[in-house]
Amino acid sequence: MTENTETEGSLVRTINWKQGLVVALGVPILILPSLYDVAGILWAFSILLWTVCVLQGFLQNTAYGEMVTVFPKAAGLPGCAQIVFTPEKRTKRYDIGKLVGAFCAWCYWFAWTPVVAIFTILMGDYLIQMFESQLGSTDPMIVYIILGFIIVAVMLLIGSHGLSGGALAGLILALVAIVPMVVILAAAFFTGMFDFSNITNDWLPTTWNWSGVDVVMLFGCLALAQWSGCAWETAALYGPEYKEPNKDVPKALFACGIICLILYFFVSATVFGSLGIDGIDANGYATLVPIGKFAFGEIGGTIALVLLMAAMVLIIQTGFLGSSRTLYYMAMEGNLPKFLSKLNKHKMPVMAMITVSAVNMTLVLVGNPVAILAASGIGYCLAHVVALSAYVKSRTDKRFKDLPRPFSAPRGWKYIAAAMVVFEACVLIPCLFYWSMEVYGFSSVLIGLVILMVFFPIWFITQNKEAVLETA
């Protein structure tokens, strides 16, 4: 769900596969917002779904690992798509190839930006559960809004002064994200909270009969889950910056994929085995609160959960800074209005940051992290459709098929990528639409459609202004 937003003419090859792996290791915490909704629909079968979702990531991310090394000057997957779909000679004002690549970037932006709102609401739910005696009677929306303003203000303050992360920040994010979560869940085994019968007795809902509606809801859950379960693609997106792409890309990519495969199975299985469907329903999105308190007691559990929320703050920072830079670079490339490329005295995209802040504070008012995630997931699916199509074209178009490929996917991978395009477009997107309307009504779908479609008039207006400036 993330992209490398560097657009310099030639990115410096300075990282090895271990550093690329560290950058992507914050991904497992992205499972937390979706655990409740997916388990609520599929019960213990959700454990299998999370595993399949990560395996799906291997099919898609292998193609991405190759493509980003073929186009080392491109700005991530959207940049690759723009190069592939743009004709050799531009003859029209409205370049469709540029539009396709820009829309891919917009979809990725919408997939990553709501991380701020999603984890703000999730943190609010954790605080309400942890301090129930103090906050139990408070309207949750008040908690979300106050917390949202605090987080956005801190992100603006930090981001505007030039803190953009790096290898050390990535390492901190990885450790803080994974360690508290793993420790809390591992403690469930040692304290006897985990009960395997919770899984075997509640494998599927008692009303489940594999009807057409059940199958559509199943694929809707898979579409929702890929927002986090396939997001380790970020290990591949730094392909142009690896010292030895032919060796570093597959090592970082597949190492991250294997770690995610283990952790997504471990997290989903441990949560369900410890709480059962009744416990998950009772605790909602704050599924780790009762496990932490049971394992470590009231004080120890609170400390462990505070550390977990620190990881949420770091993933929020990553989302905030990354999505702001995406808007900045889209504006620099002429795909969005120029005011978004304005820098402050610290050379940071302050107008893009303010825009991201405003969007997320508006999304916080939705009040439900997965309703936002489902809307964002539509954009993520569309981004995959465009990016995978670009990979197929890069393998078949005479302009690109003979280019050097520092890392090459196995022979015939273009057919797998083409199949995934069809799967994303014809199965996952329609099923996610249906899932969203069944669970949250039309509002979630409407949020996704409005944010995605508003890009087109903005882009065409921007192109008109660019043309006017060129002729002036």
Q: How many CB atoms lie within 10 A of CB 422?
A: 11
**Percent helix, strand and coil across the chain, each to the nearest 5:** 75, 0, 25
DSSP-derived secondary structure for 298-318? HHHHHHHHHHHHHHHHHHHHH
Q: How far is CA 237 from the centre of its chain?
A: 13
Q: Where do the H-state alpha helices sit in 333-406?
A: 350-364, 369-396
Q: Which tens digits make up the pLDDT trace of 224-264?
A: 999 999 988 888 776 666 788 788 888 888 999 999 999 99
CA–CA separation, 39 vs 443, rounded Å? 22
For the beta carbon of residue 333, count every other beta carbon within 10 angstroms. Answer: 18
Of 228, 111, 229, 241, the closest CA to residue 166 belongs to 241
Q: What is the pTM of this model?
A: 0.91
Rounded to whole angstroms, the Cα distance separating 293 from 454 reads 45
Write down the pLDDT at residue 241. 67
C-alpha dist (Å) from residue 142 to 128, 156, 367: 11, 21, 10
**How many residues are given for the chain?**
472
Half-sphere exposure at residue 441, Cβ-oriented, CA atoms within 13 angstroms: 3
What digits encode the pLDDT tens for the residues 363-380? 999 999 999 999 999 999
| Helical ranges in 25-166 per DSSP H | 32-42, 45-70, 76-85, 96-112, 115-130, 132-135, 140-160
Give dist(CA 190, CA 234) in Å, integer: 34
Q: Are 109 and 326 in contact (CB under 8 A)?
A: yes
Question: What pLDDT is attached to residue 135?
Answer: 82
Structural domains for the chain: 17-471 (1.20.1740.10)
DSSP conformation class of 242: B
Which pLDDT belongs to residue 164? 45
User: How do residues 380-402 score in pLDDT, each as one tens digit?
Assistant: 999 999 999 999 999 999 999 99
pLDDT for the residue 446: 93
- Residues of the chain where predicted confidence (pLDDT) is lower than 50: 2-11, 163-167, 472
pLDDT score, position 162: 62
> Residue 208 in 3-state DSSP?
coil
Output the six-digit token pair for 330: 């889209």
